[in-house]
Amino acid sequence: MLFFALIILSLITAQTGISNTLLNLEICVVGSPVENSFTGYIKLKYAATLANYTLVSVYIPFEGQVSVLNITSGNGVLVSDYQLENNTISFLALNTSEITIYFTVENVLEEAGVGSYVTYIDLTRYSNIPLNLTMNLVGVYNVEPPINTKYSNGNTLITITQPGYYPITLYLTPETITPAQPSGLQGRILVLGGIGAALIVLLVLIYVLRGKK
């Protein structure tokens, strides 16, 4: 009831409030495609402080099950009253120009084969908004289509800065496995074993040849 009452209040005060423009939208998620679990945040920056109650609705642009961890405004106020429906988070904000939403999202990717995964990122709702989306994936993957991709410390970093709908396929890059080199003692044992096996073969051949005579 409180949430809907504040919505009505925001609609009333909006008639006398100034128009606020979203200045920047930053989205970041970190996680493992193998575990299919990600943690992230969305940060909204407005050109001016929201002087009146303002209804904010933010769509999490990943398929999967979203859970909200917390919502914090730039003035340190924790927003506890919100609604989450169809990966869209709605709440009221006041006296702030910056809002950060922390969340988790499960089952973001679909397994397309051994070591390959498909995900869909929907940024079509963010047209005409400066945005920056970063996916920090644990592991080294080839990315198709070849969008802005970097590699750092064994992770794959994908960056998207334009609105649109992005089907993305990830292909796990097999790690190069270097055969373990035997230690000095192991090497000597292997050499002695080889010599012993050769001597046995030689003795067998001598015995066979003598038998034929």
pLDDT score for 173: 86
Interstrand relation of 22-32 and 37-46 (parallel, antiparallel or unpaired): antiparallel
pLDDT score for 67: 96
pLDDT score for 153: 92
* Of 64, 58, 40, nearest in space to 118 by CA: 64
pLDDT score for 80: 85
For domain 2-172, give the CATH number. Answer: 2.60.40
pLDDT score for 205: 52
Q: Locate 3 and state its tokens.
A: 């949430």
Mean pLDDT in runs of 10 for the chain (213 residues)?
42 35 93 95 94 92 94 87 94 93 96 91 92 96 93 95 95 60 52 60 55 56
- Residue 24's Cα: distance from chain center in Å? 20
What is the C-alpha to C-alpha distance for residues 191 and 78, in angstroms, rounded to an integer?
Answer: 70
Burial environment of residue 104 by CB neighbours within 10 A (0 to 12, 13 to 18, 19 or more): middle
- The domain segmentation of the chain, as residue ranges, is 2-172, 180-213
Output Rg (C-alpha) for the chain, integer angstroms. 30
pTM, whole model, 2 decimals?
0.72
Residues 6+ apart with CB under 8 A from 9: 53
DSSP 41-105: EEEEEESS---S-EEEEEE--BSSEEEEEEEEETTSPEE--EEEETTEEEEEE-S-SEEEEEEEE
